[in-house]
Amino acid sequence: MTQKTILITGVSSGFGFHTAKLLALSGYQVYGTVRKKDDLKIFSKLPKEIRPKTMILDVTWSQEKISQIVNKIIKQTSHIDCLINNAGYGHMGCIGSFTIEEVRQQFDVNLFGAFKMIFATLPIMRKHQQGLIINVSSISGFVTTAFYGIYSSSKFALEALTQSLRVEESIFNINAVSIN
Q: Has 153 been annotated as catalytic?
A: no
Annotated active-site residue 155? The verdict is yes
* Catalytic choice (28, 31, 148, 151): 151
CB atoms within 10 A of CB 133: 25
Query: Is 115 within 8 Å of 123 (Cβ atoms)?
Result: no
For the chain, what percentages of helix, strand and coil (3-state, to nearest 5) are there? Answer: 50, 15, 30
Q: Among 137, 138, 140, 153, which one carries the catalytic annotation?
A: 137
12 is catalytic: yes
Catalytic one among 116, 148, 155, 178?
Answer: 155
Q: Is 148 a catalytic residue?
A: no
List residues with catalytic annotation.
12, 137, 151, 155
